[in-house]
Amino acid sequence: MTIFKRMWQSVQDIVRKADMKLLGLCMVCSAFGLILIASATNYLGSETQLKRVMIQAAGAVIGIGAYFIFSNLDVEHFAEKWWLFLVFNVGFIALLRTKLGITAGGNLSWLGIKGFPLNVQPAEIVRLTYTVLLAKQIAWFRDNQRMKGLGSLVFPAAHAGFMFVWIYVISKDAGSGLMYLVIYAGMALAAGLAWYWFAIGFTGLGLGIGLLALFEKLPTYWVERFHVLFDHSYSPQGRGYQQTRGMLALGSGGLFGQGLFHGIQTQGIEGSLPARQTDFIFCVCGEELGLVGCFAIIVLEFLVVYRCFQTARLAKSSMDALICVGFGTMLIFQTIENIGMCLFVMPVIGLTLPFFSYGGSSIVALYAAMGMVSGVRGRTLPDWLRKT
């Protein structure tokens, strides 16, 4: 009986330390996403539909476990071994060039074992350790130099730039690499890096891209992805096909939609709405649940982001605060980019809608990230409420 009491007490301690409001928001998003995924995969047949839904549900369950684990870990302590984080980040991405690497959608972005139903996207997992490592790096400069020295700009920016280049060189997945730069930008801004550095950086980036485009050094598909944004009539059966079909589905939903499992494009044949359970899940919601459903998604994503930034304000250290800011920035950009892509105002770069889109490794990584945010909030509690 004593053993069971101790186990129950341990469970209570773990739950007490975790941010259950944040977990509840994440779980509502996941449940909503599961419903949309079930509808989006309905056209594939009941067997495949059930498989996809079960994989996503299993990912959510594993993610919830990861949430509680990270809620009870002090990542600042583990970050003292920063070189292990760096080796892991570089090495795990490099595994894509081994026999475990799987190409999908033109990018070498997945790791998998033949015969095993689940694949892993290293960039999603490494994003966690990268954010912790970058937060430690920027926090050190903030606490010691107040972001005034040149090193506070150069070294964290070089770290982010290296990860972007490394991911692109290994996998050709610029979208995943871009997230690393966005996380850095959010953290640097929160840490107090002067605005003019951002102005200089964006100006230089714009001029660099412009020159590369002028001399035709950019990949053709990059140029085309931006071309279709400014001319929707360009390549409607080619590069613009996904977004054209997405807009058709999204625009036909009206205020309340056509009803779950009744969307014309969503329930149509293969190709009627490409990537409907992943990149274009927002279009599925728009067609079947209308503007009301889309608004619900936006509100839920906002509440999760708000909780991240609210926790950042309560954090007891610069590093903890920056971890929350980093993950909050990640969610903001990924949500805006995905919805913008569905609205045909942002380029297609393969970023999914957090918690809603299909993807096992993605959902696990998201819950783990929110678990770290929960852990930051837990460390702001008085000692008697913490796990001992």
- Whose CA is closest to 183, among 154, 201, 161, 168? 161
pLDDT in tens, the chain (388 residues): 577 777 667 667 777 788 999 999 999 999 999 999 999 999 999 999 999 999 999 999 999 999 999 998 888 888 888 889 999 999 999 999 998 888 877 788 888 877 666 788 999 999 999 999 999 999 999 888 777 777 888 899 999 999 999 999 999 888 999 999 999 999 999 999 888 888 888 898 889 888 887 777 788 888 888 889 988 888 888 888 999 999 999 989 999 999 999 999 999 888 889 999 999 999 999 999 999 999 999 999 999 999 999 999 999 999 999 999 999 999 999 999 999 999 999 999 889 999 999 988 899 999 999 999 999 998 876 554 554 3
Cβ atoms < 10 Å from Cβ of 202: 11
Q: Give the whole-angstrom CA distance, residue 101 versus residue 380.
A: 41
pTM (2 d.p.):
0.93
Q: Give the whole-angstrom CA distance, residue 99 versus residue 108.
A: 11
- 269: amino acid identity, one letter: I
- 66: amino acid identity, one letter: A
